[in-house]
Chains A and B, each alone.
Chain A
């Protein structure tokens, strides 16, 4: 049974921007890609930079420091210097609220 936490309002998360949030003390970031909201870890797996400060392009986020690229929807690392993928979190939109599910 997934535990859901309200982390943002629908209007907080806009196309082309990142919305940093926290889930039980873990830094996550919300993105909107083609209308759909996604939640992934906000810490680069390489040198722990804050990815929500990075650059968003075509469904990917580029780390602000060393340019590792991640797919926002799948968390997959697309290019170095990072090698580990980002954790993705289930997202539920209920009216004006965005909920993120705690991983098991």
Chain B
């Protein structure tokens, strides 16, 4: 199941250049390249003539030339040259996608192009904000995208999957959790008061005594999870909004479905301390990557089971509240999209 009328992260900005790049998004093969002035462009990655991926071709100026018979397409996806003939068949065109570069990522609109408003791009400014340090990352995951959404909305797993990095038992056994839901948004707030800091926090924050730790998870559909996380020495006022003497980070996740069973996982860990120190950014990113690779092992193992036993019954526990509310929003939005698409088809007939 995919939601279509959304901006998704398609690539890191540096991945797209003058060499055409193929990537599957929502099951659609897409070729990305940049024009001579650096503007990113996205087409369906299939020549209108005999279906070869256009990503196997090459750029000639601002046109993309198919590797097979040399048809050339301009940036609007219109064929402008058929070798050996003067006339160009009107059907010789490929679908194009709206793309926008923002926050070191290239975003793609997968729905009705008429609705593609760049103002709807989810805010990830921490990735290129001079007041934060960050280094955007990518992981390819052989699992359904919603398994990652579930994972990030229930951080009790940190105590078990990530006990060597960002987790400890305090966040399950000594936490107060609140789930707020709005029409298209879920926020899960967890406070862990006067408990030991987990290993990563000790490493990067230098804590020597107990801390007050927060995790504020914001879910925005389809799969944007922005986590406000951090800790301060206990009793210094963080729960009341006074964050001093500790560390604050944004764990930023944007998951883009590749197929129903694989996805592109774009993420970054922004930090508000030692922001110009590349070593600090690297150290933090490495710690989180270690943890995320532990998650990927979980996702891929879940996926294997879910393919062997599709739609099995499952048990829900208290910690699933955020997960369930988010899935309910996603299901509703999917139904709305399906209904709108059906109405459009009827109107067209």
Contact = CB atoms under 8 A, between A and B. Distances in A.
A65 interface: yes
Given A64-B318, A65-B316, 4 more contacts: A53-B177, A55-B181, A65-B320, A65-B324
Tell me the interface secondary structure of chain B in the complex: mixed
Interface string A47-88: 101100111000000001110000000000000000000000
Interface of A: 47, 49-50, 53-55, 64-66
B327 to A, nearest CB: 11
Interface of B: 177, 179, 181, 315-318, 320-321, 324-325
Most buried by A among B177, B321, B325: B321
A49 B318 contact: yes
A21 B325 CA distance: 25
B324 A64 contact: yes
Nearest to B321: A64
A54 B181 CA distance: 10
B346 to A, nearest CB: 31
Contacts of A53: 177, 179, 318, 321
Most buried by B among A47, A50, A53, A54: A53
B187 to A, nearest CB: 13
Contacts of A50: 318
Nearest to A47: B316
Contacts, number: 24
A28 to B, nearest CB: 16
A6 to B, nearest CB: 22
A88 B325 CA distance: 27
Closest 9 CB pairs of A and B: A64-B321, A65-B316, A50-B318, A65-B324, A53-B321, A49-B318, A53-B318, A65-B320, A47-B316
A50 B318 CA distance: 6
A55 B180 CA distance: 8
Nearest to A66: B316
A47 B321 CA distance: 13
Contacts of B325: 64
Nearest to B177: A53
22 contacts: A47-B315, A49-B316, A49-B317, A49-B318, A50-B318, A53-B177, A53-B179, A53-B318, A53-B321, A55-B181, A64-B179, A64-B318, A64-B321, A64-B324, A64-B325, A65-B316, A65-B318, A65-B320, A65-B321, A65-B324, A66-B316, A66-B324
A28 B178 CA distance: 18
A80 B316 CA distance: 16
A65 B317 CA distance: 8
A55 B315 CA distance: 20
Contacts of A55: 181
Contacts of B320: 65
B322 to A, nearest CB: 9
A89 B321 CA distance: 26
A65 to B, nearest CB: 5
Nearest to B322: A64
